[in-house]
Structure 1
Amino acid sequence: MNIITQLVILTLSLLLVNADLYCTNLYKDFKHKCTPSMITIRSCCDLNTFTPSPGVYKMSTRTFGTADVYCDTATDGGGWIVIARNKKGSTVDFNKNWTNYVEGFGVLKTEFWYGLEAIRCFTDSGQWEMRVDYQKNDKTWSYLHYNQFSVGSASEEYPLTTGGFIGEGTDLFAARPQNGMKFSTPDNDNDKWLSGNKNCAATSRSGWWHNNCYTINTNSQPPNVHGNVLFTEMKIRPKDCITH
């Protein structure tokens, strides 16, 4: 057996041991009924085996470090990182500047925007999907689901990529379209509302991937999904999450 083969076997063995140790420790945390805030995970997908309640967990990744995330463990197989939540009459002000939207704001257990740089870090590697769940004014629920979702770099001003729509109704991100648009805030206008040089973000008092201006904007007040709605929750997960 040559030295390269031996090194490959050793590396794989170490990876398997580390993965096994990680799973064992995670199992112990749940067995001893630790609260979610006491458990550190590598992905919300790791929670699928244990089917815990949705909530705030500590997640540690190579690119992002350790940070609190809200994991949706119940919807469509679970494993979702919630990146935005808004409701009609929210006490969280979404009329923020560029820096606020890059860094994130709000409260994870109520309404918030997680932050463009964090979302970019999440979707920078691998393939991700995105879902928007929303409650209409008649109290019924619906959703939009995309098999492709990513946010570009800061130097490009965080352009949006969506594709593979499989949700209910119309592909609202394609209707205006907002796919491919740079992010806009009241103090950083990247939209295509050319008439009178107006600013969609300033008019809607919310940062978003504005075109001229939008058919969906979960950050407006009230949140908008082809018309005003009562509640929106935007979430993402790796495409291989269900078989993780």
Structure 2
Amino acid sequence: MKKGTVNELSAYRQRAWCFHLFEDFTSDNCYQLYSFGYRRNGLYNIYLNGSTKLEVYCNLENHGGGWTVIQRRVDNRTDFDRNWLDYKTGFGDKTASFWIGLENIRALTKNGDNELRIDITTCNNTKIVAEYSNFTVGPESDRYRLQLSGYQHKQGTCVQHDATIARPCFPHSNLSRKECENHKQKCCYNANVTGDHRCTHTADSMEYVNGKIFSTKDNSSGTCPSTRKGGWWYSGSTLKRRLVVLNAR
């Protein structure tokens, strides 16, 4: 993760700053809490499979409400360069930087009908938002394989784009502002930039890891977890394409 970058992954089922703990009734996700009238961000107890209690951070105030936050990085004080067991069970402070745990993500998503939202604020205050209409994680026996579809680019400006989050629209050059802004790739035009990056779009970097298994420094067939200093759904394109890896340094 770049210094100064903030990112957050949220998922909700059944389609998926005061920190207080509530436990009024049995609920198995934050969207269910939202549907029962809860509207305050904070820590809640939910019950996976109707019985296993799990403390989660619910975002009930923003983006339509009902989001279960599964990862957040606001600084580098929490070490994400961890082993398989840590990534399986989870680590960190749910009111700050944390990873909820692969086994918990599996339990939250295994019944299908989930959405994933990714919010990134870069060190130069560029805000990037992407949503996926379908999101599931497989069992540990399949190394928590990731399945994503239904990508939607929600927000991102071209003024401060860098190569990790933006790609030139085709054809690469000589597009007018009108041609760029009407492009099918939902491109944005920056007159202050020359060459290929005058007309860019915020790319779906997750497309390269869709269908991939999770890897950590002690459970991987490659070098990506050790090189990038974090567990993730890596692919052979991760290093070559400079893809965003939200658990990496």
Coarse TM-score class (shorter-chain normalised): 0.5 to 0.7
Q: Which residues in structure 2 correspond to 1:1-244 (within 5 Å)?
A: 36-40=20-24, 41-42=26-27, 43-45=29-31, 46-48=33-35, 50-62=37-49, 65-87=52-74, 89-168=75-154, 169-174=202-207, 177-190=208-221, 198-214=222-238, 215-221=243-249
How far 1:171 moved relative to its partner? 1.4
Identity of aligned residues (%): 32
Deviates more, 1:208-217 or 1:102-111: 208-217
Structure 1 residues 38 and 74: alpha-carbon distance in aligned structure 2, compared to 1, 3 A threshold:
closer
Structure 2 gap segments, 5+ residues each: 1-18, 155-201
CA contact (8 A) 1:159 1:180 kept: yes
Q: Secondary structure at the match of 1:219?
A: coil
* TM-score calculated relative to the size of structure 2: 0.67
Instruction: Write the distance in 2 (CA, Å) between the matches of 1:133 and 1:101.
Output: 21
Which has more helix, going by share of residues?
1
Structure showing greater radius of gyration is 1
How far 1:216 moved relative to its partner? 2.1
Q: CA RMSD in A?
A: 1.8
How far 1:72 moved relative to its partner? 0.8
Given residue 149 of structure 1, which amino acid in structure 2 is its aligned partner? Answer: F
The number of residue pairs the alignment matches comes to 177
Deviates more, 1:114-123 or 1:131-140: 131-140
Structure 1 residues 112 and 64: alpha-carbon distance in aligned structure 2, compared to 1, 3 A threshold:
farther
Structure 1 residues 164 and 135: alpha-carbon distance in aligned structure 2, compared to 1, 3 A threshold:
same
Structure 1 gap segments, 5+ residues each: 1-34, 191-197, 222-244
CA contact (8 A) 2:231 2:247 kept: yes
How far 1:211 moved relative to its partner? 0.5
CA contact (8 A) 2:80 2:231 kept: yes
CA contact (8 A) 1:64 1:118 kept: no
Instruction: Write the distance in 2 (CA, Å) between the matches of 1:148 and 1:206.
Output: 24
CA contact (8 A) 2:44 2:55 kept: yes
Q: Secondary structure at the match of 1:57?
A: strand
CA contact (8 A) 2:205 2:244 kept: yes
CA deviation map 1:124-143 (0-9, x unaligned): 11310101001022213221
